[in-house]
Amino acid sequence: EIVLTQSPGTLSLSPGERATLSCRASQRVSSNYLAWYQQKPGQAPRLLMTGASSRATGIPDRFSGSGSGTDFTLTISRLEPEDFAVYYCQQYGSSPPLTFGGGTKVEIK
């Protein structure tokens, strides 16, 4: 089973700042099959990125993903008020099981 470790646990930033979220895998993620999700309180997760770097439909271009192998990054270039949420990475290259990272909370400073 691939273990995903996200860091930091919490990111305190102001609107307009850049957010950099990390996701590290315990072994290589097959075909870079890594997704990112955003979750707001009381809502289901929302797909942001697939294949490590492809934005899902309707996701604004201030969101970008990068990385390969075992190290992946989600970057939000300029935080908008609606971007404050919890972000999860998930690998789907080696399944079952699908595995998720523990999440990074992006909060308003």
Partner 1 sequence: QVQLVQSGAEVKKPGSSVKVSCMSSGGTFNSYTISWVRQAPGQGLEWMGKIIPVLSVANYAQRFQGRVTITADTSTSTVYMELTSLRSEDTAVYYCARGGGRVWLDPWGQGTLVTVSS
Q: Which residue has the tokens 């850049």?
A: 18
- Amino acid at position 77, single letter: S
Phi and psi dihedrals of 81, rounded to 5?
A: -55, -35
The distance from CA 27 to its chain's CA centroid, rounded to whole angstroms, is 17
Q: Residue 16 or 96: which CB sits closer to partner 1?
A: 96
Among the candidate windows 16-24, 38-46, 63-71, 75-83, which touches partner 1 by CB under 8 A?
38-46
Torsion angle (degrees, nearest 10) of CA 6, 37, 32, 21 = -40
Q: Residue 16 or 58: which CB sits closer to partner 1?
A: 58
Among the candidate windows 20-28, 41-49, 60-68, 71-79, which touches partner 1 by CB under 8 A?
41-49
Q: Is 44 in the site for partner 1 (CB under 8 A)?
A: yes
Q: Which residue has the tokens 């201030």?
A: 62
Residue from 13, 22, 50, 73 binding partner 1 (CB under 8 A): 50
Residues 78 to 97: which contact partner 1 by CB under 8 A? Answer: 88, 90, 92-93, 95-97
